[in-house]
Structure 1
């Protein structure tokens, strides 16, 4: 079964580059992208009963229109019990503000805070070690 990564970010160029970096890794990975938290939440809820269509990993930006990363987290917490598998979330932001880093630690759903851009080595480490992806 493929590992699935979901990128939630409003920066089209960043998503494109990150997706290309992920797909270059020596693993079988499916990548899904959303422009904001609301789109992602709808996509997740549409597939809540099908674990193969749910992401294993979410890379979540903070600052987005419509529904930002913090609002997505609050909504995700409300619905995660409905999902057919556990999803791990990484905050992926260009913000290096301590308040954002500390706020992310308040959510047990957030595994780590990553400062953009995320390099290929870090992506591989996340997927290889934490998710036991095999080549």
Structure 2
């Protein structure tokens, strides 16, 4: 499976990479510290099923484009992408409003609280299968 990590926290990205690599089902991992850069990549790779991610782990709070803004822009381009991409929100926020808002997006399959754990990875895969 091809995963994209969109988060400005380099330590989180390192931990998430380790969990995904340890599990062994992730065949490609790409990370972005800015949602805008990730959106540009999605646009450029829109017809390439092999390079597009199967799933995106998306942070809410980022400096240039936050997760909510990313989702708003993603909704505009998702029908132009060569495959369906599943998005999981990953955040340190336990604010119920963030969880409800994330679940209001049909593009979001789940909400995972940081710190990421191996149990989170198992839940993620069960949602993808």
Q: TM-score range by the shorter chain?
A: over 0.9
Q: CA RMSD in A?
A: 1.1
Q: Which runs of 5 or more structure 2 residues have no equivalent in the other structure? A: none
Total equivalences in the alignment: 129
Which consecutive aligned stretches of 4+ in structure 1 deviate over 2 angstroms post-superposition? 26-29, 129-132
SS state of the match for residue 110, structure 2?
A: strand
**TM superposition score normalised by structure 1:** 0.91
* Deviation for aligned residue 1:117: 1.2
Task: Using the TM superposition, give the Cα deviation of residue 125 of structure 1 relative to its aligned residue in structure 2, in angstroms.
Answer: 3.3
Which of 39, 42, 55 is equivalent to 1:41?
Answer: 39
* Stretches of structure 1 lacking an aligned partner (at least 5 in a row): none
Corresponding position: 1:70 with 2:68: yes
1:109 is aligned, of 107, 110, 118, to 107
The normalised TM-score by structure 2 is 0.95
Please name the residue that 2:94 is paired with.
96
Aligned-residue offset at 1:21: 1.3
